[in-house]
Amino acid sequence: MSFDYDLFVIGGGSGGVRAARVAAAEGAKVALAEDSRLGGTCVIRGCVPKKLMVFASEYSGAFEDARAYGWDVQEGDFSWSRFQTKLHAELNRLEGVYRRLLDNSSVQIFDARAKLKDPHTVVLSTGEEKTAKHILIATGGRPVRPPMDGAELGMVSDDIFDLETLPETILIVGGGYIASEFACILNGLGVKVTQYYRGEQILRGFDLEARNLVSDMIKASGVDLQLGNNIATMTAADGGAVHVVATDGSETTFDKVLFATGRSPNTYDLGLEDAGIEMGLKGEVLVDEYSQTNIPSVYAIGDVTDRVQLTPVAIREGMAFVETVFKGNPTPVDHDLIPSAIFTQPEMGTVGLSEEDAAAQEPIEVYATSFKPMNTAFAGRDDKVLMKLVVSKATRVVLGCHIVAPGAGEMIQLAGVAIKMGATKEDFDRVCAVHPTMSEELVTMKAPVRTT
């Protein structure tokens, strides 16, 4: 059978674009369809604009620290409009980079929505039909509002970057990394932030000791973090504000409400069911270790599969797909020991098992230290950082590393190399400390603080 393309990619995010480019470099005839903006969640409405907002929000504290270090610095007002103009210009530039990369790789771009008609055919919103030997679904995920009356009055994370003005007050609902990051960002930009999380502690699934410290630091920075609380009802108020009655009985009116309560795979109206593709309870595309669906010609990578929702993981899944399908080298996706960072203030970096998960698996030793870092202690702040290693008693292998500190994301990337290689506690101990740094504590902790 003759096909229009060897590969048709649905979705122009980081994973889909990488897979398309690399497959084209192997000589495949490739097309890609994207109905929004090239770059996907990470570049357009996720990692990149969020991290730029993190940088912007940290200057309020930097001005205070500068004065403590002897600088005659006068703190000015933050201009959201000036920052936002430059932010959108940068996102436009990056989108252009993605388009040029595809063009230079001879990937045909369709600025249209695509859906499956059958295992080898896609239908575009332009009315065109295209056939392909292989189809790759890389449509990512989307933020969702909770199923409650009045939910339409609240924003989701995609909306933050397009605000005309910053609100004076905001309620952020959720306790995951997106909710906690935006609580810190907006607080740093001068917004009065309240955060509701119905659970006992934010950042569920991460190491509890690290979560506790991040929570303490968020509250100390001025965020009104209310654990065990949630919205009972919400109604429109004057001027576009939202009146909220909480489950604890309190009533407050906020300029804005932001729901950061979860994301769903972008599988709606893609024709997947009609094509016979199996999906999970959350609407995710079910795939095997090679990212192949139950339909042999159709593969899926990234957040749409709801495996590990991280941009670098989607890219690696795309590379493994090309190795498997176009290079004849079956390559399973490696989801083991993935380092990650949460850009709260302070940041959290983590790789491997939490203390709780490791203790449930085998006897462990925990090496940890928490202290005031030199730079902020000199400035008179009460910040604390955490350096923590979780070690197997039997093998001495470091099962997990958890860092709460400024720059934790940078540190955990390098620690992740050692842990991925199977480093033991003694391997860490043999490394000479870099002094004076925060990270030197990772190689100077001699005695465990507890064992299980």
The residues carrying an active-site annotation are 435
Q: Hey, CA dihedral for 138, 139, 145, 147, is it positive or negative?
A: negative
Backbone phi and psi for residue 299, each to the nearest 5 degrees, phi listed first: -120, 165
Cis status, amide bond into 346, omega within 30 of 0 = yes
Tell me if 19 sits within 8 A of 10, measured CB to CB. Answer: no
**Alpha-helix residue ranges (DSSP H) falling in 337-400:** 355-361, 374-378
DSSP run (H or E) holding 284: none
Nearest Cα residue to 438 out of 337, 340, 347:
347
Backbone phi and psi for residue 254, each to the nearest 5 degrees, phi listed first: -115, 150
Length of the chain (residues)? 452
Tell me if 341 sits within 8 A of 349, measured CB to CB. Answer: yes
Let me know the angle formed at the C-alpha of 448 by 446 and 450, rounded to the nearest 5 degrees. Answer: 170
Nearest Cα residue to 10 out of 333, 188, 266:
266
Let me know the angle formed at the C-alpha of 276 by 265 and 263, rounded to the nearest 5 degrees. Answer: 5
Backbone phi and psi for residue 340, each to the nearest 5 degrees, phi listed first: -150, 160
Tokens of 137: 């679904």
Per-residue exposure over 150-168, b if at least 16 CB sit within 10 Å of its own CB, e if not: bbebbbbbeebbeeeebbe
